[in-house]
A and B are shown apart, each in its own frame.
Chain A
Amino acid sequence: MNNKETPKLQNATNKLRTIVRTNIRYNISVRLISFVILEALLSGGIVGMVMLKNSRDYLRQQALQSNLNQANLASSYASNYIKAIEAHITVFATRPDVRQAVLNGTTQQLQPTLAEFVQIQTPLNGVGIYDTNGIQLTFSLAGSTTIGQSFSNLDWYQGLMAADKPYLGLPTLAKSNNVPVETFAVPILDDQGQIRAILTGGISLQSLSDTLVNIGFSSGTIASMIDTRNGGLIIADNDPSLLLTTVSRDNEAISRLVSGQSGVIETTDNKGGSNLIGFAPVADLPWGVMIVTPGSTAFAILNTLTQRAILFGGLILLAACILGVFLLLGIIRPLQHLVQETKEIGGGNLDLKVEIGGNDEIGDLSRSFSDMTAKLKNTMVSRDELTAEVIERKLAEQNLQSLTTYQGELLAAIPDIVMEVDNNKIYSWANQAGLEFFGDDVIGKEASFYFEGEQDTYNAVKPLFSGEEKTFYVESWQRHKDGQKRLLAWWCRVLKDNRGNVTGALSSAQDITERRRKEEEKEKFTKELAEKNTELERFTYTVSHDLKSPLVTIKTFLGYLKQDITDTDAGRIEKDMSFMNGAADKMEKLLGELLEMSRVGRIINPPEKVTFGELVKEAMGIVAGSIADGGVKVQVSDELVTLYGDRSRLVEIWQNLVENAVKFIGDQASPSIDIGIERHDRETVFFVRDNGIGINPKYQSKLFNLFEKINPRTEGTGMGLAITKRIVELYRGRIWVESKGEGQGSCFFFTLPGALKEMGKGVRT
């Protein structure tokens, strides 16, 4: 404030300030209306721009079309112009006086007639008559110097003579008067239609140019016409100096025109201005028209429109900016301020006062906000008290950790066992199925209390108790409440409290005892089946081979017998029959034992109780004869073991083994057989030991195979031990032989668990 101002001026200034302030304090409604106006202005601007663009495109198309129309107009004008000239010349060639003069050879007298014709026909600048050799006979110009000269090298002469019809020559400077012309030549015919002379009319290209320019194109427009032959020569133009010059093929319009097209293109010249070039060929002639209109002329309206549109657009934008700034200052800044304040209050600074003045709605909002802050401050104390209470309650709830009724019902409905253990692996909870399996008193007992036998279950689930969050699967034998041993499949997961500490484990379990038993049975059955299959294969193979062998013998010696009977060779007959007899015996034995073999496992005698002593005694009775023959001493253990099974089959085991021992006792000085029982690992093992020839360890594995004989010269078919093995296996036992080698004696061991344990159960033998 300037101190030099008078109080009056100061007073006025203050007054003015008050007025301005009052007027400038628009309330928020006014501001919103302003916002709507801004919106309208912007929308209007956008609509305007779109319309401007559409208008511009339309006007542009119009300008192009107009240019093309001008080219087409010029083209049709040129076409008519030439047709008229052609007509006049053609008619002139048939005039009786002209024809007569030609026929009479008095053409030089036609000179005034020709001069008159040229005078009337302004588009022509010379007319001449030539004989059929191309020699000029007469010319429209009086005193022409070319009379008598030959024109036979000119294109119009050659063209006419070749085609035998009117011909339009190429643009050139006329030979007779040295002006740019295009010569139109027509034949002069006699009554028989024979060419007698040639009439030519030189079409003045200057006249053609004048005519073209005078059609009346808009100012600045350049019109030209070109002859498209020989690469294109200018035959009419605003600028006469360009006549007969070769056009530039580089120009797109010209190259398209030369190839017979019509159209319009926009080009930019070297001064940066744009040009419209419309072009069109002239019908029936090797000509084309080109109209070049400067862009400034063609697009005059378009440019004016654009200039105005930009001016209006700028004004609208300026108005929008002013309104925008006004809005920013009036609404957004106070609001931003308010937001800042609110944040601080939200951060806990309740002592802050929102300071936004003003008499508008934002001012009101700020004041309300300040009031609210004060009230909020008052309620804070009671809120803190409330929070403390809520936290207390939550803790109590966590401690409870109880199941809802619904969850309880859900777990009770599951057929699987569900058990919970605490960190000490003590059962802390069980569902209905769990209580039914372990008993109602399971809660509070250690999980290991229910284990059956040694188990590494705890090791398997160890990571679970250190917090590993995956499901662990274990199988373990557990004691049912009725004392039975059952196999349970367990799925275990860790339990944690809210803070992530391990509180125990939750497990579900299924009783898989039956399933496992069935699986094992199936496995055993499959294995047995495979064994039987192998045995059957061997059996079939053996039968086919071993039964065939004596058959070969019998059949062959039958053949020899026949021969020997014819030869009456008594010695040979005897021998043949002996071989046949041997083979037949062998076969009989084989068949007998095969039958026996098939009976084992098929013929069932009712099982009975019998002691070891009784069985051995019975077997010894059967083989007594051979024992006595060999002078073998037999010792039998007096152990008391009771067996239960098919008595005659059991007897057969000892019978076969003792027979076998006697057979291979060799030439022992004091042959002996020892029969008894040994205990190997709680298993009862029977044995038959001899001090005979023994068995090479190499052959021991083959020993129990069907028809297997270690010594080819011994009696029997090799089935005794195979049958013994079969009986032993029926009682789920094993049989094996031990011998240190040949001459060392041998000991057959076997077990019969099925005959020892399954009391009261029948065994198929």
Chain B
Amino acid sequence: MKGEPIVILLVEDDLAHIEIIKRNFEASRLANRLISVEDGQEALDYLYRKGKYKDTDQSPLPNLILLDLRLPKVDGLEVLKTIKADPALSSIPVVILTTSPAESDMVKAYKYNANSYLVKPVDFSKFNQLMNTFGYYWIVWNQYPLDD
């Protein structure tokens, strides 16, 4: 998959936040493919290729998952737990991106083997800076194994 764009699955229920993240990735001009789902159940459906996500070309397995915690239907932590408990999915890095700086959320997320925990900043330039750093780190510098 070298040379192919990194596939990022964004699990986010707030449309405004999806827009912010999209704009940041576009501005950075980093080769990537951002797919967004709006609740926990949809995220699991995507990962397990259920319903409308049956087509593997349309819905490829992501290289990275950006996960919000407070989600409708199935909670973000539940999604995380499911991913990390499944040997087929557990190696996909999961980065938590949430507005909650609550200690309890952080402790649980890391306990369920989240790979990183980021808190959305309430500031335009800081949000941009975060997304920029995130992009370089996870898209440019981070190495992903080849598909088998």
Contacts and interface: CB of A to CB of B under 8 A. Distances in A.
A548 B13 contact: no
6 contacts: A545-B98, A548-B122, A549-B99, A556-B124, A560-B23, A712-B39
B72 A552 contact: no
B38 A556 contact: no
A709 B38 CA distance: 12
Nearest to A551: B122
Contact of A549 (B14, B19, B23, B128): B14
Given A545-B100, A549-B99, A552-B99, A579 B72 contact: no
Interface of A: 541, 544-546, 548-553, 555-560, 562, 575, 579, 582-583, 696, 698-699, 709-713
Interface of B: 13-17, 19-20, 23, 38-39, 70-74, 98-100, 102, 104, 120-125, 127-128
Contacts of A696: 73
B51 to A, nearest CB: 13
Nearest to B71: A712
B58 to A, nearest CB: 22
B117 to A, nearest CB: 14
Contact of B127 (A541, A546, A548, A556): A556
Contacts of A559: 124-125, 127-128
A548 B120 CA distance: 9
A67 to B, nearest CB: 98
Given A552-B99, A553-B16, A710 B70 contact: no
B73 A553 contact: no
Given A541-B102, A544-B102, A711 B72 contact: yes
Contacts of B13: 712
A548 B124 contact: no
B70 A545 contact: yes
Contacts of A699: 73
A557 to B, nearest CB: 7
Contacts of A711: 72-73
A710 B39 CA distance: 9
B121 to A, nearest CB: 8
Contacts of B72: 709-712
Contact of A552 (B38, B71, B122): B122
Contacts of A558: 124
A553 B102 contact: no
B100 A552 contact: no
Contacts of B39: 712
Given A559-B125, A696-B73, 17 more contacts: A541-B100, A544-B100, A545-B100, A548-B99, A548-B100, A552-B127, A553-B20, A556-B127, A557-B16, A557-B20, A558-B124, A559-B128, A582-B16, A698-B74, A710-B72, A710-B73, A712-B38
B interface, over-half SS: loop
B47 to A, nearest CB: 17
Contacts of A560: 23, 124
A335 B85 CA distance: 104
A560 B26 CA distance: 14
Nearest to A553: B16
Contacts of B73: 696, 698-699, 710-711
Contacts of B120: 548, 552
Contact of A555 (B15, B74, B122): B122
Choose among A545, A582, A711 the residue with the greatest number of B CB atoms under 10 Å from its CB.
A545
A426 B124 CA distance: 87
A555 B123 contact: yes
Nearest to B124: A559
Contact of B17 (A541, A552, A698): A552
A549 B17 contact: yes
Given A541-B100, A544-B102, A556 B20 contact: yes
Contacts of A575: 19
A583 B120 CA distance: 15
Which 8 interchain pairs have the tightest Cβ spacing?
A: A559-B124, A553-B16, A712-B13, A712-B72, A548-B99, A579-B16, A545-B100, A549-B99
A550 B121 CA distance: 12
B25 to A, nearest CB: 14
B134 to A, nearest CB: 15
A709 to B, nearest CB: 5
B80 to A, nearest CB: 16
Nearest to B42: A712
Contacts of A698: 73-74
A551 B15 CA distance: 14
A544 B70 CA distance: 12
Nearest to A563: B124
A541 B104 CA distance: 10
B147 to A, nearest CB: 32
Given A546-B70, A558-B124, A553 B100 contact: no
B20 to A, nearest CB: 5
A546 B14 CA distance: 10
Contacts of B16: 550, 553, 556-557, 579, 582-583
B24 to A, nearest CB: 10
A585 to B, nearest CB: 11
A142 B124 CA distance: 144
A579 B124 contact: no
Nearest to B69: A545
A696 B39 CA distance: 14
B19 A579 contact: yes
A550 B123 CA distance: 12
Contacts of A709: 72
B71 to A, nearest CB: 8
Contacts of A541: 100, 102, 104
Contacts of B14: 549, 553
Nearest to B14: A549
A557 B125 CA distance: 11
A713 B18 CA distance: 14
Given A560-B23, A709-B72, A712-B13, A545 B38 contact: no
B66 to A, nearest CB: 15
Contacts of A562: 124
A603 to B, nearest CB: 29
A476 B127 CA distance: 68
B45 to A, nearest CB: 13
A552 B120 CA distance: 7
Nearest to A709: B72
Choose among A544, A559, A575 the residue with the greatest number of B CB atoms under 10 Å from its CB.
A559
A213 to B, nearest CB: 111
Contacts of A548: 99-100, 120, 122
Contacts of B17: 549, 552-553
Contacts of B38: 712-713
A710 B71 CA distance: 9
Contacts of A582: 15-16
Choose among A552, A555, A560, A699 the residue with the greatest number of B CB atoms under 10 Å from its CB.
A552
A533 to B, nearest CB: 14
Nearest to B19: A579
A698 B39 CA distance: 14
Contacts of B100: 541, 544-545, 548
